[in-house]
């Protein structure tokens, strides 16, 4: 799959993942605690989500996930759609060559977007924005 196809796949999965989820505010009852709670949820679900992503990358199926795991995964999928959209618009050399093993290439791209890129920028960017946006003045 190329970046455009990967992005569309992530977008489709994001829409599906969001169906039936509880409202995020139910997980964060006190707005002042959102950044800390988000960090705790990320830490608590990270291993399970990594396994789920690797399973999806290889087999295109998700294991059974709890609502909080699905919510945390939806943040990653949304990030992947955003980054993937940028990557699919770029000419070479940003668009890497398809390999002979297209399924392996797809696994690598999904893993890169949902594991590496999320770990390097996605989570910290979102967490920092939550901290910045939810100041004492905003909560009162």
32 near 103, Cβ under 8 Å? no
- Read off the pLDDT of residues 63-95 as tens digits, 9 standing for 90 and up: 999 998 998 898 889 888 888 887 776 655 445
In the chain, how long is the greatest CA-to-CA distance?
Answer: 57
| DSSP state at residue 2 | -
42 near 72, Cβ under 8 Å? yes
Using pLDDT thresholds of 50, 70 and 90, give the confidence band for residue 134: low
| DSSP state at residue 25 | G
Q: Can you give the pLDDT at residue 75?
A: 86
Q: Locate the domains of the chain by residue range.
A: 3-19+32-134
**Alpha-carbon span 43 to 108, nearest angstrom:** 23
pTM, entire model: 0.72
Q: Can you give the pLDDT at residue 69?
A: 94
């Amino acid at each position: 799959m190329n970046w455009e196809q990967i992005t569309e796949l992530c977008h489709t999965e994001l829409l599906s993942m969001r169906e039936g989820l509880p409202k995020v505010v139910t997980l964060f009852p006190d707005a002042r605690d959102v950044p800390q709670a988000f960090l705790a949820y990320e830490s608590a679900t990270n291993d399970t989500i990594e396994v789920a992503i690797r399973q999806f990358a290889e087999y295109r199926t998700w294991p059974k996930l709890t609502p909080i795991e699905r919510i945390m995964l939806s943040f990653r999928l949304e990030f992947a759609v955003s980054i993937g959209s940028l990557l699919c618009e770029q000419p070479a050399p940003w668009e890497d060559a398809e390999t002979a093993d297209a399924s392996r290439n797809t696994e690598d791209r999904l893993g890169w977007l949902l594991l590496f890129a999320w770990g390097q920028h996605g989570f910290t960017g979102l967490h920092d924005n939550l901290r910045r946006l939810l100041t004492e003045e905003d909560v009162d």
